[in-house]
A and B are shown apart, each in its own frame.
Chain A
Amino acid sequence: MTDLSAHSDLEHGGHEIHYDPEGCKIGFWLFLFTEVFLFGMLFIAFGVYLTGYKADFQASSAMLDVKMGGINTLVLLTSSLTMALAIRAVQVDKKGQSLFLMLVTIGFAVVFCVIKYFEWTHKFHTGIHLGSAETFGVPSVLTDMPRGQQLYFGLYYVMTGFHAFHVLVGSILIMVAMYYVANGKVNKDRITLIENAGLFWHLVDLVWIYLFPLFYLIK
């Protein structure tokens, strides 16, 4: 009588696992906040060094390809739209449409990673890397650059790398959501899993919205 959770389990038929959409959602938001702090601390580091080495940061920023970054911004924003629409499709009970939209979202994620790959390898071939000549074909010129530029590219690789890793994890989450939407376990009455996958995907987008102008457009 005093145990409320046991009571509500009985209401749901006793043996059925208790489904708590609100709890799932709040829990996932709390996880997202830890992600905000993870990237947030890197942004603070970026901000502090930007104040300290303004000229070096601007010179480094001019070395990035705005076109590549710009296209990747469009790709990520559009993928956020398709993901939001995929969730809406489940809300209105359109399973096929939702699966298609999630597939498109993953397609955009692949495009993003391919562009990122070309950006990084291009930088490696011009000698901006921390490895040896044997690994990347050319000796590192980064160690001879001014300290501010070393810091800039260090942060560039760490932050865009971390972000790309999140794109990868987000794609896996969307694939999991596709699996459960396909077999009907996620439907308009049990939507939390795809909603949370979507929230993660939008967070990846949010991080990029700050990353792009701060790295590419400060010259």
Chain B
Amino acid sequence: MSDHAHEEHHIMPIKTYILVWVALLFLTGITIGASYVNMYKFTVFTAFFIATIKVTLVLLYFMHIRYEKPLYTWMIVAVLITYGIFIGLTYADYQFRW
């Protein structure tokens, strides 16, 4: 391992940042708008789904994951799987208690 040279930085154009920001504001508007529509069982799901799109945008562009080594993506995937296990176990427990 002799990568002691300067780190390589992908410098994104300002336009990309602004576009991501506009997309985030747009999606926030949609979330608020959707909350006034009665979607019965899907209200929470819709809010959660749009929030996840927003989070993905922040991760990819603001947190630069798109331009990092694949290692970072895999670490995030590992965290999500672990978190999924926690959710699964909690709900399994809850099903037999309530």
Q: Which residues of A contact B (CB under 8 A)?
A: 4, 8, 11-12, 21-22, 26, 29-30, 33, 36-37, 40-41, 44, 47-48, 50-52, 66, 70, 73-74, 77-78, 80-81, 83-85, 88, 91-92, 188-189, 191, 198-199, 202, 205-206, 209-210, 212-214, 216-219
Contact = CB atoms under 8 A, between A and B. Distances in A.
Contacts of B14: 85, 88
A46 to B, nearest CB: 10
Interface size class of B (residues with CB under 8 A): 35 or more
Interface in B25-53: 25, 28, 31-32, 34-35, 43-44, 47-48, 50-51
A50 B44 CA distance: 10
A44 B44 contact: no
B32 A80 contact: no
Contacts, number: 116
B48 A213 contact: yes
A168 to B, nearest CB: 20
Interface in B59-91: 59, 61-63, 71-72, 75, 79, 82-83, 86-87, 90-91
Given A84-B17, A85-B14, A48 B47 contact: no
B25 A77 contact: yes
A20 to B, nearest CB: 9
Nearest to B20: A81
